[in-house]
């Protein structure tokens, strides 16, 4: 085999390996909730790595419409209290008794503490360039997907919470007039086995049309 052919084979092998690794990470990604987390700290370097990958998401006209707030320690306690207060009016009506209500509120207060950190996801809409809001939201969503894939690559559990208390808590963090809450991104250490739960997707044949 001549040198050119050898280089071609090595290049193809390298491309295949990179592609295989990327496909495995994408297909293994899943939402892993805080109940499955192992309480353990996460380094600031790792958080920076996750966020650095986030900002390499595609962004139309380079508006980079994202902002993040890293919540740790006391802020996790604050969010737990916020969740309990948020759901109190609801569970006060549905809980069978006061003991059950107290247990539910205790669970809500402790739930965020299981995470290593929580990252507030904020849409920072451009004030200089006219772009449809949906494009800006799409860019932030791509950034969050990059975060999730990075967590998967490092065997960290993660999920994007967009429920009522998540949205409202981020709103309370003194957002600017051009900013919008897009919820909270939970990160925590977890047993690698958590990624092995079977997932299903509709075959692409049922979701794809080919036009020639």
Residue 10 resides in a domain: no
pTM of the model as a whole: 0.91
Angle 90-91-95 from CA coordinates, rounded to 5°: 140
Q: pLDDT tens for the chain, 212 residues: list them.
A: 454 444 455 557 788 888 899 999 999 999 999 999 998 999 999 999 999 999 999 999 999 999 999 999 999 999 999 999 999 999 999 989 999 999 999 999 999 999 999 999 999 999 999 999 999 999 999 999 999 999 999 999 999 999 999 999 999 999 999 999 999 999 999 987 777 767 789 999 999 999 99
Count helices and strands in the chain by DSSP H and E runs: 6, 5
Query: The domain spanning residue 130 has which CATH number?
Result: 3.40.109.10
Domain that holds residue 67: 31-72+113-194
Query: 94-106: per-residue pLDDT in tens?
Result: 989 999 999 999 9
- DSSP symbol at 6: H
Residue 16 resides in a domain: no
Query: 159-185: per-residue pLDDT in tens?
Result: 999 999 999 999 999 999 999 999 999
Among 118, 119, 93, smallest CA distance to 104 is for: 93
Residue 118 resides in a domain: yes
Tokens 């669970």 sit on residue: 107
Residue 157 resides in a domain: yes
Residue 3 resides in a domain: no
Residue 97 resides in a domain: no
Residue 14 resides in a domain: no
Per the structure, how many domains does the chain have? 1
Residue 204 resides in a domain: no
């Amino acid at each position: 085999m001549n040198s050119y052919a050898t280089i071609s084979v090595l290049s193809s092998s390298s491309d295949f390996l990179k592609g295989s690794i990327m496909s495995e990470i994408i297909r293994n990604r899943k939402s892993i909730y805080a109940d499955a987390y192992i309480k353990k700290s996460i380094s600031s370097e790792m958080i920076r790595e996750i966020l650095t990958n986030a900002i390499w998401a595609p962004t139309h006209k380079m508006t980079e419409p994202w902002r993040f707030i890293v919540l740790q320690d006391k802020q996790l306690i604050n969010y737990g209290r916020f969740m309990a207060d948020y759901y109190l009016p609801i569970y006060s009506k549905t809980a069978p008794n006061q003991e059950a209500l107290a247990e539910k509120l205790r669970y809500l207060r402790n739930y965020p503490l299981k995470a290593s950190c929580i990252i507030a996801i904020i849409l920072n809409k451009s004030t200089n360039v006219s772009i449809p809001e949906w494009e800006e939201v799409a860019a932030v969503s791509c950034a969050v997907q990059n975060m999730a894939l990075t967590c998967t690559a490092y065997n960290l559990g993660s999920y994007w919470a967009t429920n009522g208390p998540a949205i409202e808590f981020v709103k309370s963090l003194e957002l600017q007039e051009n900013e919008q809450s897009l919820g909270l991104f939970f990160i925590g250490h977890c047993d690698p086995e958590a990624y092995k739960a079977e997932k299903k997707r509709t075959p692409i044949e049922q979701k794809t049309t080919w036009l020639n």
